[in-house]
Structure 1
Amino acid sequence: MPDNAAPRLSRASASTRPPAPVRAVHLGLGAFHRAHQAVYTMSDSDWGIAAYTFRNTTLPRTLTEQDGLYTLQVRGDGKPRAEIVDAISRAHPGGDTDRWLADLASPDVALLTLTITEPGYRTGGHGSAIDRVVAGLRGRHRAGGDPIALVPCDNLPGNGGVLRDALAAATREEDAAFRAWLEEHVSFVDTVVDRITPAATDEDAATAARLTGFADHAPVVTEPFSEWLLAGRFPLGRPAWENAGARFVDDLAAFQQRKLWFLNGAHTLLAYTGPALGCTTVDEAMQHPTLMALTESWWDTAARHATLPEEDLRDYRQRLLQRFASPGIRHHLLHIAVNGSQKIPARILPVLRAERSAGRLPEPAVAVLAGWLIHLRDREVADPRADELVALARSGNGARQVVATVDSELAEDGALISAVDDYVEHLRSAG
């Protein structure tokens, strides 16, 4: 818990600048946004963020009480350091619909960033993230139709195109004028984002108070490394994110592939095999010889199909080893293991398909599917298809049926399914 003797964090107590005018809106207020996009935006004092949660009311209320401020604690191999982030001018709960619509309609707002997680782009229905974005854009169109840039910041290949397609599907029945405006005045920016951000603990809050002298009830913990690559148009301008290290490039495909396969793919591998072998965090898993060998083997396998130069991949792998092994970041494997049905198709299956086409059966990919099967059978599952997947995993032909939910062709690969079943027993006996 924060030090109750320390003054409560606020703009007055911390002597920070007043809130910047709101020129950006964010949907998906959580730890990653506050460790990443908000920190980059803080480098430009002319831009403030109005940030919205989904159903959570506690976090926006806490941030409002702290004038939008929070402590960012950076933990690596040495002593932790902390800074106060002041980019959020307003924080709102998801139910604040009127303010959401007013912000999206405002001509002062030039962009909308999103961290809605992978399932958010694929689920429809009233109240979904896509539904909320459509409502905001519809209001903007009616209010005068100023252009706007949409900047998705989730780990999806071609995330700008994914968002564009999701909005096109959601507005298929809308009037022609609105759909034409979407085509002409809404730009979709592709991004690659990277910064490991585990959940903060009471101990982290106490450390933040010790480092800053202020009691912070919404601290964020992250690693020293941060990356943001962007490609796309900003018709009404953007913050000077490059001041904080963001890079603007013409084509993100190779960088997206590298991030998804090497970092996120390795995380998914560890998330499903690590707990079966008694590990709870990424840094613990990197001390386990079997998991370390599987990770290196996965990177070797992915490198055969990656498009970036070998030297770039080698340097990236070395940085990942350092980041994964850092004792300062306690990144829990079961937290990474959520939404497997959304993550595995992007992070693991492209490499597995390429390997099977070449006649190879890569152990790390088999291990992921086996570990996922154990996870579905034995643990509490957080996934948009949880009920279906758990029932299938516990059925008589679980491996084939679970694999069929993410790739029907791979499910008919008898050698693969047999290998997954065998690896389930291997992990159980090794654990």
Structure 2
Amino acid sequence: MHLGLGAFHRSHQAWYTQHASDAAEWGIAAFTGRRPDAATALSTQDCLYTLVERSAGGDSFEVIGSIVEAVDGANVDRLCELIAANETAVVMLTITEAAYGLAADGTFDADSPAAADDLRALSAIAAGGTGAPGSPLGRLVLALAGRRDSGGGPLAVVSCDNLSANGDVARRAVLGLAAALGTGLGEWIGANVSFVSTSVDRITPRTTAEDIEEVAEQCGYSDSSPVVAEPFRNWVLSGDFPAGRPRWEEAGAVVVDDIEPYENRKLWLLNGSHSILAYAGQLRGHSTVAQALADPVCRKAVEDFWDEAANHLNADGLAIPQYRQALLERFGNARIAHRLAQIAADGTTKLRMRAVPVLMAERAAGCTGAGSALMLAAWIDYVATSQDFQDPLASEIQAANTLEGGERVRALLRLVSASIGNDAAIVDLVQGLCGSLTANKAAAAVPTRP
């Protein structure tokens, strides 16, 4: 099972499943998130689609068939039916960081609007009523209740979102919701469901009309739902699979006991620099990762942040210099049009994991943390100028933007993390960096080929 049928899932977990040595024994039933469109389009072509691997040297094409059923996420009855089935062994999640809905301190927040709505719906269903939870985690909790009631065995929940210790995050969110329901479901989940942490990596931009046309021209068939990705891919997993899993490691996945160093390397170096480029790049007039990286001001901001993050990535085998060089080559691949506006969404959630840990570690070591603080300053400048930013705390950001000077900076930082928003020295540091990226915008703008 997979919750969050999007381009990344189809370029990553679905690819690994197709390339596992026992692929013929497995199939993925994938459910959409907010809209049914992806499921509708895939279902009309028997869930087959083309994966376009795009490198500087050209494109290659592969038909992926590991998804065997694509379903509208609102079809909760089908979700419950499939998760209750004994044949279901794994439930994977790519629901975005914000969808886990935990409070800033990482605890379950039963009073958040999404959790409160889910609890009302789950309580009504438990009492014999009708309805359905609105969030993916609420739907998962309902489906797990059905598995318990049908006598189903244990299974694994595998988070593939960009969160540190994402398996633990998923556990806290699911168990928090189940425990708040108060029907004994939390105890059953605790005893029968494992939560696996992963680190995932493959740049997958949104598919364009030009991509669809290219597949038709090069492959000789019509595909409404191709996916474009870079050749690079990486998947690190840590946790138990009580009902089994595909042999993903034979397709190149890595199974480890301690995933934290790999998570931090990816969250800080790749995702952190993506955030810098997303905010700084758009402030400076760029629209893609490759364009932003070609701007010396953005490139320096990335390198400075990487220097800070590398101070706290000391585990054996991480090969940080080589990883950084590989990122520069991947980001510079102008044939992958990774849109900065896509990366910029959900800043309060993402920055909490990408900027704050490095900033706090640097300051604890007696350093300023200016590279990390610049990421926060770029976001603050971005939400002041963007008219259509997406964020789970959008209304709170808009309210903070009505303040002035240090009060505005403090209020916005508190939305990311109370610990930094309440630290006067950090507030002063970030405020001093606001506006610095655009001070020489006109002089430093770099022309780039489309």
TM-score, normalised by the number of residues in structure 1: 0.91
Deviation digits for residues 355-414 of structure 1, max 9, x if unmatched? 222332233222211111122111111011011112203311211110112222322433
Structure 1 residue 418: Cα displacement? 2.7
Q: Report matched runs for 1:299-378 at 5 Å.
A: 299-309=306-316, 312-378=319-385
CA distance, structure 2, for counterparts of residue 54 and residue 334 of structure 1: 20
Structure 1 residue 278: Cα displacement? 1.8
Specify every segment of 5 or more residues in structure 1 that has no aligned partner in the other structure, as ranges.
1-24
Aligned to 2:35: 56
One-letter amino acid of the counterpart of residue 40, structure 2:
R
Structure 1 residue 226: Cα displacement? 0.4
Q: Report matched runs for 1:259-298 at 5 Å.
A: 259-298=266-305
SS in 2 for 1:75: strand
SS in 1 for 2:28: strand
Aligned to 2:224: 217
One-letter amino acid of the counterpart of residue 280, structure 1:
S
Aligned to 1:419: 429
CA distance, structure 1, for counterparts of residue 186 and residue 431 of structure 2: 48
Structure 1 residue 168: Cα displacement? 1.4
Q: Report matched runs for 1:11-410 at 5 Å.
A: 25-43=1-19, 44-122=23-101, 123-124=114-115, 125-126=117-118, 127-174=134-181, 177-309=184-316, 312-379=319-386, 380-396=388-404, 397-410=407-420
Number of residue pairs aligned between Structure 1 and Structure 2:
407
Contact 1:227 1:245 in 2 (8 A): yes
SS in 2 for 1:91: strand
CA gap 1:41/1:310 in 2 versus in 1, 3 angstroms? closer
Structure 1 residue 176: Cα displacement? 5.8
CA distance, structure 1, for counterparts of residue 297 and residue 401 of structure 2: 25
Structure 1 residue 344: Cα displacement? 0.4
CA distance, structure 1, for counterparts of residue 314 and residue 295 of structure 2: 30
SS in 2 for 1:84: strand
CA distance, structure 2, for counterparts of residue 311 and residue 409 of structure 1: 29
Structure 1 residue 425: Cα displacement? 2.6
SS in 1 for 2:392: coil
Structure 1 residue 263: Cα displacement? 0.5
Output the aligned Cα RMSD.
1.5
| Percent of aligned positions that are identical | 41
Contact 1:81 1:211 in 2 (8 A): no
Deviation digits for residues 175-212 of structure 1, max 9, x if unmatched? 56433321221111111110111101011111122222
CA distance, structure 1, for counterparts of residue 435 and residue 17 of structure 2: 49
CA distance, structure 1, for counterparts of residue 436 and residue 316 of structure 2: 35
Contact 2:4 2:95 in 1 (8 A): yes
SS in 2 for 1:144: coil
Deviates more, 1:53-62 or 1:380-389: 53-62
Deviates more, 1:275-284 or 1:405-414: 405-414
CA gap 1:134/1:102 in 2 versus in 1, 3 angstroms? same
CA distance, structure 2, for counterparts of residue 311 and residue 240 of structure 1: 24
Contact 1:197 1:221 in 2 (8 A): yes
TM-score, normalised by the number of residues in structure 2: 0.87
Deviation digits for residues 50-76 of structure 1, max 9, x if unmatched? 110123122111100000011111111
